[in-house]
Structure 1
Amino acid sequence: MEAGAVTALYPAHRCKTIYLVRHAHGFHNAAEESDIIDHTSPTLLDAQLTPLGWSQVDCLREHVTKSGLAKKIELVIVSPLMRTMQTAVGVFGGGNYTDGVSAPPLMVEGAEDSGRQPISSLNCPPFLAVEACREKLSVLTSDKRSSITRYRTLFPAIDFSLIENDEDVLWGPDVIETDESVVARGMNLFDWLWTREEKEIAIVTHCGFLYHTLNTYGKECHPTIVEELRKVFANCELRSMVLVDRSFPRLYIVVIWLINPLCLTDIARGHFIVKLEYIKTRPKGREIPKASLLTSFQFQTRRCSKWPLP
């Protein structure tokens, strides 16, 4: 090992493995690849997967099955848009659905004229739709979701209980979300994961959401690690990360609160993303700040967000 290299050791109960997946190739991606595109066209509303996208889904499914990853994942969190839900159920679902089975299918046959067989909800993790991991809001009609009522008919076994509004109240033809807003809700989503018991969680989401959220991390790391974290996701790409919680135990926070409430501003939860295959080297003659990280992650305070979270 390189002299001066820094490693970190954490209790297992303070770590979660998250599998970040960008949706497969959608019709809005195909439109972007053409010379002329009207991003506000109603034909791109809540864009679904192309035949190429479904081929990508099949390839990733084969990988997670053969590698054993499919058996490890305890929960699939998915952005409630057509392309992300199609990707999620296609990759992590339970295979072909059989009529007469008591459990509802994850996706009905031919959903959205996809030509696909129904997908079973058996022998797979639960699926939970969460609005906080939606794409960055803009004027693009592809980022406007359909009603939850409609989704429930197409994806009966996906849990939509955390979504408050049937219609999309977040998207608007003149709404452009700031990068800071995307980062805030991304960090809040990671924070919310600590309220869950699951240790291995897949999140099927979007390029913009992943790019802006992951750009928050790794500022204290070697440039090669920063580049790895911030590289734009390809369609249907999966990356494994480790989320580490270095916050004070709740009992300590209660004690400090009783002594001095103002101290709580310095004890916000730490969010960390760790690339498993890298470690950071301490620069010579430089002290690592208390709030910095010893490997490829960066301290972040908990931030507020207007986006709905449980």
Structure 2
Amino acid sequence: EKWASVILAPLLHETYLLGTHTMTIHDEVEHVQVIGHSLALGSNSAVSGPVKVVHFVRHGQGFHNVAGAKAGLHGVACGCIGNDSSQCPYTAKEIEDADLTEQGMAEARLIRETLRERTIERVMVSPLTRTLRTATVGLLPEIGPVPFLAVEEIREDMGVHLCNRRTPLSKLQVKFPHVDFSMIPGEEDTEFAMDRKETMSEMTARCRKFLTWLRDRPEQEVVVVCHAAILWVMFTTAIEIADPELCSEFRTAEVRSLVLTFPQGSCSHE
């Protein structure tokens, strides 16, 4: 099966994209120079194929982030795998499917200003509480009727860490009635295991599945609200990108706006 190549370049406010990147998806590599591609999309012929403007957003500060900081942990790595997970702050019952702190709520509200002038067609959000809350606080007051869709493939790494175990679906539907949960597989989080952490290759497969699905969607400009680890995997393993700044860990509530171009003729055919 032949997979699409994905071309990314950073948005420079309301101007143009300039840069040369080498990137790969699904073991295919393509070198492309992105020159003067307007945010209006379609006004410049330098890049061919389906084009998406994607605003990737990490959730605001959650209670699990505070617990991790108190324990001296930083970033997406945790040393509990293969050791004594009972000493890991992310396994504490009180931060299961962690919500946002007051600081996290304030961070989420700042997202409104970042994306206020954009023409968003859909918000795609991880089905964990902190991402749903971030999307709701940060975007719902601004974009109103734009649909919110919960997407399983962009949730945080699964297993061991209770902060990443999803709340039962019926409870989420009550808390976030504006979100379409039709793509979430069931009431309980059956994919989550207390004794096994999701592997990097499994997370990469999820990212690739999401990108392929996104390629075939009708929307041209979307927001994707998810998590530090899955974003890091998305940017470093599902897509190879030359600019190291784009591959660094997201800060809480950080927005990185990218243009994804799926070259014509590279889509798979069955």
SS, match of residue 94 in structure 1: helix
Alignment CA distance shift 1:47-1:7 (3 Å): same
Give how far 1:163 is off: 1.3
CA contact (8 A) 1:215 1:229 kept: no
SS, match of residue 60 in structure 1: helix
- Counterpart in the other structure of 2:248: 231
SS, match of residue 48 in structure 1: coil
Counterparts of residues 74-89 of structure 1 (less than 5 Å): 74-89=121-136
Quick one: distance in 2 between partners of 1:234 and 1:228? 12
Quick one: distance in 1 between partners of 2:149 and 2:125? 6
Q: Determine whether 1:63 maps to 2:99.
A: no
Q: Determine whether 1:94 maps to 2:141.
A: yes
Q: Determine whether 1:45 maps to 2:96.
A: yes
Alignment CA distance shift 1:249-1:236 (3 Å): closer
- Counterpart in the other structure of 1:7: 33
Give how far 1:249 is off: 7.1
Unaligned residue ranges in structure 1 (runs of 5+): 96-121, 258-310
**Per-residue displacement from partner, 1:228-265 (whole Å, max 9, x unpaired)?**
22110000000011111125177xx77xx8xxxxxxxx
SS, match of residue 91 in structure 1: helix
Quick one: distance in 2 between partners of 1:29 and 1:160? 26
- Counterpart in the other structure of 2:259: 242
- Counterpart in the other structure of 2:218: 197
Quick one: distance in 1 between partners of 2:93 and 2:32? 52
- Identify, as 1 or 2, the structure richer in strand: 2
Paired residue type of 2:47: Y
* TM-score, normalised relative to structure 2: 0.74
Give how far 1:183 is off: 1.0
CA contact (8 A) 1:24 1:57 kept: yes
List 4+ stretches of structure 1 deviating above 6 A. none
Q: Which protein has the larger Cα radius of gyration, Structure 1 or Structure 2?
A: 1
Percent pairwise identity: 32
* TM-score, normalised relative to structure 1: 0.65
Q: Determine whether 1:130 maps to 2:181.
A: no
Give how far 1:75 is off: 0.5
Which protein, 1 or 2, shows the higher relative CO under an 8 Å CA cutoff with sep ≥ 6?
Answer: 2
Give how far 1:48 is off: 0.0
SS, match of residue 215 in structure 1: helix
Of 194, 202, 209, the residue aligned with 1:181 is 202
Alignment CA distance shift 1:75-1:139 (3 Å): same
CA contact (8 A) 1:75 1:198 kept: yes
Quick one: distance in 1 between partners of 2:104 and 2:188? 26
Quick one: distance in 2 between partners of 1:140 and 1:215? 22
- Counterpart in the other structure of 2:55: 19
CA contact (8 A) 1:218 1:229 kept: no
- Counterpart in the other structure of 1:166: 187
Paired residue type of 1:173: M
CA contact (8 A) 1:92 1:124 kept: no
Quick one: distance in 2 between partners of 1:52 and 1:194? 34
CA contact (8 A) 1:133 1:189 kept: yes
Give how far 1:177 is off: 0.6
CA RMSD, 1 decimal: 2.3
**Per-residue displacement from partner, 1:122-156 (whole Å, max 9, x unpaired)?**
73410000110010113110000111100111111
